[in-house]
Amino acid sequence: MRIDEKRFRATFEALTADGRTPEGGLNRPALSRAHLAARHSFAELIAVNGFALRTDGAGNLSAWLHCADPEAPSLVLGSHLDSVPHGGRFDGALGVAAAFEVLLSLRDSGKRLSTNIEVIDFTDEEGTWVSLLGSRAVSGQILARDLDKPRGNPEGFEEALARAGLTKAGILGASRVDEAFRAYLELHIEQGERLESSGTDIGVVSGMVGIFMYLVTFRGTASHAGTTPVKRRRDAAQGASAFALQVRQIVLKHFPDCVANVGNMTFAPGLYNVVAHSATCFLELRSSEGARARQLETALDKAAVYSAKRFGLTVDFKFLEAVEPRKMDFGIQHTFRTAAESLGLTTRTLPSMAGHDAQNMALLCPAGLAFVPSAGGYSHSAREYTSWNSCVNGCQVLLETACRLLVSS
């Protein structure tokens, strides 16, 4: 069975039109007007093609091809349509477009299915408000405290929910742990350069790193920036800056298998002529092993205390949220490889250093994730690009894998 390349391209263009930036990327953070417009475009595609449409309490949007058996499990394929601010066109949207093309191809084949097919666009994969919100809700992992302390400001989150017609109660009630799933498949760009540098067509993901997020706040004393001698200052900015440098050194020296990032630093009162009385850092660390992540957390906590003491400060090292590391199903990994090889494509098994909805769906059913190359390894920017030939290869592997799973069900 072959995909319709022209139709696939048209779907991808339709799903990457809303929120386009002058640089050629996408700017549609979760539940923004541009993101909701993209979801409306997807809903129109679902309706025009005659599929059943479902939107759950978390805003996840699905297209359904039902089989004759009402008790049959579902083979789910999906990804996400939201983007980081000023991100790229391929991250997430390619996966939704490819999943929808698989759905169309299976319908057009006329084959009698014994499994329902669902294509799902998950809410807020990028974590504008809550990391991997939609798939965590579906897999029963969202708690009330996650929604009460979103990444963005609580007022903004409430406005975004209202704009999308969602409620916190609806999100908490979106769990599907009692449903029967055959498997979950996802296609995504690699967002790195391992595939391109090795000349490999398809990446078969062995597992995904855990992502652990913290808020680190240094507190000192505000004072006049002109009249207070430098050696007498309790400058929170200095403590936070020294900590950020320590994060890099600790990872390079003791945790080369992990990564850590200080992605945001805010000073208060934030004035030219006032020594900062507080500095807040958004810290994220990633590891494929939960125990290793906890070791790095301990080391960074100690580093924060050391930096605070050095500059006469206090520090609060606060855990925010985590997405635990997850292995992908070995059977689906094998099926991805054999499907790709049957199409004359080369494969490489590798871990994902980014989080994806597949790691949450793995709690509900066997799950698999496949990568296509990212040119130059660029992602989360307008420079993000994957050749269309690679996109077609990935979609064809997704279809072939789905067909093989359906035959074995």
pLDDT at position 322 is 84
pLDDT at position 389 is 98
Per-residue pLDDT band for 400 (boundaries 50, 70, 90) equals very high
pLDDT at position 286 is 95
pLDDT at position 103 is 98
Task: Give the separation between CA 96 and CA 100, rounded to whole angstroms.
Answer: 6
Per-residue pLDDT band for 111 (boundaries 50, 70, 90) equals confident
- The pTM score is 0.89
- Structure-block tokens of residue 79: 């990804």
Per-residue pLDDT band for 321 (boundaries 50, 70, 90) equals confident
Tell me: the pLDDT tens digits for 293-304?
Answer: 999 999 999 999
Residue 408 pLDDT exceeds 80: no
pLDDT at position 409 is 64
| Average pLDDT of the chain to the nearest whole number | 96
pLDDT at position 149 is 85
pLDDT at position 324 is 84
Tell me: the pLDDT tens digits for 243-289?
Answer: 999 999 999 999 999 999 999 999 999 999 999 999 999 999 999 88
Tell me: the pLDDT tens digits for 144-158?
Answer: 999 998 987 899 999
Task: Give the separation between CA 354 and CA 392, rounded to whole angstroms.
Answer: 22
Q: b/e for 111-132, b at 16 or more Cβ within 10 A?
A: eebebbbbbbbbbbbbbbbbbb
Tell me: the pLDDT tens digits for 70-105?
Answer: 889 999 999 999 999 999 999 999 999 999 999 999
Beta strands in 220-305 (DSSP E): 223-224, 259-268, 274-275, 278-287
Tell me: the pLDDT tens digits for 166-216?
Answer: 999 999 999 999 999 999 999 999 999 999 999 999 999 999 999 999 999
Nearest alpha carbon to residue 339 among 259, 396, 286: 396
Residue 107 pLDDT exceeds 80: yes
Residue 240 pLDDT exceeds 90: yes
The answer to whether 18 and 37 have CB atoms below 8 angstroms apart is yes
Q: Percent of the chain, pLDDT > 70?
A: 100
- Structure-block tokens of residue 42: 């997807």
Tell me: the pLDDT tens digits for 38-59?
Answer: 999 999 999 999 999 999 999 9
pLDDT at position 320 is 87
Question: Considering Cα of 227, then 229, then 235, then 241, what sign does the dihedral take?
Answer: positive
pLDDT at position 13 is 98
Per-residue pLDDT band for 313 (boundaries 50, 70, 90) equals very high
